[in-house]
Structure 1
Amino acid sequence: MEKIKTSKTGIFSGSFNPIHIGHLALTNYLCEYEGLDEVWFMVSPQNPLKTKTELWSDELRLQLVELSISDYPRFRASDFEFHLPRPSYSVYTLEKLREAYPDREFHFIIGSDNWAHFDRWYQSERIIKENQIIIYPRPGFPVKEEELPETVRLVHSPVFEISSTFIREALDAGKDIRYFLHPKVWEVIKNLRNT
């Protein structure tokens, strides 16, 4: 009997406040060059550590993700964490994903900046033991590949020095930064700013 191929699904979790071309280019690279069949953009709900004023609404952030990925069939927007107890810890999100989708092989995607202090994450050792982790490079946060655990791998993707903070600050300053955002996202944001 032929074995059914397991779908390799990347989990890219974040605030996406808002999603920008750096997010899209990175995950596009992971699908085309690093063996992932698809990437799910896991939009994180309101984080208790972030003030409500700096975080756009859950619904708007999810909508902007959906708009920006609609033309690429290997991307999917997910509100999975919206339905989990808060605060949402990655260890529990990944556990619930494995339970809900046993046919998928999940790969948790994080930046090397997060890997630098991963030991401070809630139940970090369990995350490493139970999950495949992909680290992508971030400026100023080198990774010693030879010291990585068996379940963790570093990819040599292009480095994108764009942050959502930069995007928000530019928008607040009235800058026209349309090429930093997906065209559909730019249109929505522009219309919101003009109302």
Structure 2
Amino acid sequence: MSRPGLNAGGDAIALFGTSADPPTRGHQALLEGLLQHFPRVATWASDNPMKQHGAPLAQRAALLGALVRGLHEPRLEQHQELSSPWTITTLERAAATWPGAQLVFVVGSDLAPQIPRWKEAEKLLQRCRLAIVPRVGWPVAETDLRPLHRLGAQIEVLPLAIPASASSSLRLQPDRAQVPDSVWPVLQQQNLYGHPQP
């Protein structure tokens, strides 16, 4: 298992793209946790080519923006211009935005087994460090890490406790308790995911 703590250094930027479909309290906890480990965090809403989305990208970006603003943390920024269905493109854009910075690409443990099948996987893993956040029900397995190591990945498993909170569940069954306070008014204003404006 890769050890945590490789994120020392003031030039590291954690990069976290998400479908934000919609953002949940789990997303909020993850962003707050990343801020404890990295000097800067950049996030954006993205289209995942392996998923069907419940709202257009522009609306999901607005929801994520509400969450970012609600956290009132200047070290956390939304950089929607990084958004791409392809991680390699995102990393190329990030490298152009922050020349010389150490890029740390953040994924949930459920995505780790998929990365070797991503577009230009070996190339993208050479352009960043990989930070894996354990998700409830998806323990980080050494068998999932080995293919990544063979591709040259520098991996760190972050010791974060993220509450079980799935966007897919919220789309099926609205639950006010799982929606961040800053996101809730935007859901209502835009009448998304069965959250109509009162």
Alignment TM-score > 0.5, same fold: yes
TM-score bin, normalised by smaller chain: 0.7 to 0.9
Structure 2: state its 5+ residue gaps: 1-8
Partners of 2:35 and 2:141 lie apart in 1 by: 22
Give the count of matched residue pairs.
Answer: 177
Residues 58/153 of structure 1: CA separation in 2 closer, same or farther (3 Å cut): same
What's the % identity of the aligned pairs? 21
**Residues 137, 157 of structure 1: 8 Å contact kept:** yes
| 1:183 and 2:143 aligned | no
CA distance in 2 between partners of 1:190 and 1:49 (Å):
27
Q: Check the 8 A contact 1:132/1:152 in 2, yes or no.
A: yes
Give per-residue Cα distances to partners, 1:87-113, cap 9 Å, x unaligned. x31012102210232053211000111
Q: Could you say what the CA RMSD is over the residues aligned between the two structures, in angstroms?
A: 2.4
Q: 1:6, 1:103 within 8 Å by CA — same for their partners in 2?
A: no
Q: Aligned partners of 1:119 and 1:49: how far apart in 2?
A: 14
Q: How does 1:69-84 map to 2 (within 5 A)?
A: 69-70=68-69, 71-81=72-82
Counterpart in 2 of 1:19?
A: 23
Q: Which has the larger radius of gyration?
A: 1
Corresponding residue to 1:132 among 105, 129, 134 = 129
Specify the alignment match of 2:60 in structure 1: 61
CA contact (8 A) 1:110 1:134 kept: yes
The runs of 5 or more residues in structure 1 that have no matched partner are 172-176
Alignment of 1:1-195 (within 5 A): 6-32=10-36, 34=37, 36-45=38-47, 47=48, 49-51=50-52, 54-70=53-69, 71-81=72-82, 88-138=85-135, 139-144=137-142, 147=146, 149=149, 151-171=154-174, 177-191=175-189, 192=191, 193-194=196-197
Alignment TM-score, normalising by the size of structure 2: 0.78
CA spacing shift, 1:50–1:116, aligned 2, 3 Å: closer
TM-score, normalised with respect to structure 1:
0.79
